[in-house]
């Protein structure tokens, strides 16, 4: 059986259904199995954030700011991938994330204290930063088995040639690159360049489709941690409507 191509509106409808379902389902409460109580403290907030990214995207799109949503999609993809990674690596993934964030916080504090007080750091409370460092000491983690960088995670999941390129494309527009400037330029027939005040998206629908995937994967991660997987069939049906990978892969050896 040949699958019909998924239209842009199909992704928009799937995203809307996922966002409506999120509000309805979370209002009913989420029962997490005891063995998942550790990972849920990281996974749930990340999943919730992905849904907020989805809602924010629709608002930006409505105002004609879909180009600016590249930044949102990039963050949504990273949050969804990290939620999946911590969910499948369990307590070791949680410990590793806390260890990495603690390392970065210690580095930030060291650099802030060792430099002249410029305009930015004058607004920072050094005592508060020190308190964050002292009160968030993580338990040990085996860093040889648990990785944190998005490219490493994609490699371990076997999606380095599929999902990671999408992440990099959105990164081009999230940072000041030549790719992020070209959307404001028009090449004329005589070889000169004209400027435009509004960007032209080189791939309309790419941000929407990727974000729909991210919200879907994030919702699936949470449902898999929920007792009885109450929305499994509902997610199966939505996944089929946009022909998305039903679940992100398990880590490869």
Number of structural domains, the chain?
1
What is the C-alpha to C-alpha distance for residues 152 and 96, in angstroms, rounded to an integer?
14
Domain annotation covers residue 104:
no
What is the C-alpha to C-alpha distance for residues 210 and 216, in angstroms, rounded to an integer?
10
**Taking the alpha carbons of 165, 169, 171, 176 in that order, is the dihedral positive or negative?**
positive
**β-pairing verdict for 185-187 and 193-195:** antiparallel
Domain annotation covers residue 63:
yes
pLDDT in tens, 19-71: 999 999 998 888 998 889 889 999 999 999 999 999 999 999 999 898 899 99
Tokens 């650099």 locate to 111
What is the C-alpha to C-alpha distance for residues 167 and 154, in angstroms, rounded to an integer?
10
Domain annotation covers residue 136:
no
Tokens 């700011």 locate to 65
Return the SS3 of 228.
coil
Q: Are 7 and 205 in contact (CB under 8 A)?
A: no
Domain annotation covers residue 237:
yes
Measured in whole angstroms, the distance separating CA 232 from the mean position of its chain's CA atoms is 21
- Count the alpha carbons within 13 Å of 212 in the hemisphere toward its beta carbon: 26
Query: Residue 41 contacts by C-beta under 8 Å, 6 or more apart in sequence?
Result: 94
Domain annotation covers residue 116:
no
What is the C-alpha to C-alpha distance for residues 107 and 101, in angstroms, rounded to an integer?
10
- Angle (CA) 87-91-92 rounded to 5° is 100
pLDDT in tens, 63-117: 989 889 999 999 999 999 999 999 998 888 888 888 777 777 778 777 777 666 5
Strand partners, 32: 226
Q: For the whole model, what pTM was predicted? A: 0.86
More confident residue, 88 or 4: 88
Domain annotation covers residue 253:
no
Domain annotation covers residue 163:
yes
pLDDT in tens, 123-152: 666 677 677 666 665 555 555 455 668 888
- What's the pLDDT at 16? 97
Residue from 174, 154, 173 nearest 164 by CA: 154
- What's the pLDDT at 1? 41
pLDDT in tens, 162-193: 999 999 988 988 889 998 888 999 988 888 99
Q: Domain containing 56: what range?
A: 8-94+145-242
Domain annotation covers residue 115:
no
């Amino acid at each position: 059986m040949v699958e019909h191509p998924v239209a842009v509106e199909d992704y928009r409808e799937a995203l809307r259904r996922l966002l409506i379902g999120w509000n309805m389902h979370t209002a009913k409460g989420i029962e997490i199995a005891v063995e998942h109580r550790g990972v849920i403290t990281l996974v749930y907030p990340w999943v919730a954030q992905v849904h907020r990214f989805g809602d924010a995207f629709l608002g930006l799109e409505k105002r004609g700011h879909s180009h600016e949503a590249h930044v949102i999609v990039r963050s949504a993809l990273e949050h969804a991938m990290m939620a999946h990674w911590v969910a499948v690596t369990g307590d070791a993934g949680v410990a590793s994330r806390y260890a990495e964030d603690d390392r970065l916080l210690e580095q930030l504090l060291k650099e802030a204290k060792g430099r002249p007080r410029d305009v930015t750091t004058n607004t920072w409370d050094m005592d508060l930063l020190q308190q964050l460092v002292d009160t968030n000491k993580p338990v040990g983690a085996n860093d040889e088995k648990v990785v944190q960088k998005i490219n490493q995670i994609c490699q371990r999941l076997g999606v380095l040639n599929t999902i990671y390129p999408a992440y990099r494309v959105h990164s081009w527009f999230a940072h000041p690159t030549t790719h992020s400037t070209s959307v404001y330029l028009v090449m004329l027939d005589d070889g000169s360049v004209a400027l435009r005040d509004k960007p032209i998206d080189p791939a309309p629908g790419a941000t929407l489709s990727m974000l729909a995937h991210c919200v879907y994967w994030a919702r699936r991660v949470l449902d898999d941690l929920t007792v009885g997987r109450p929305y499994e069939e509902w997610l199966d049906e939505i996944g089929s409507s946009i022909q998305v990978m039903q679940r992100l892969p398990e880590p490869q050896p």
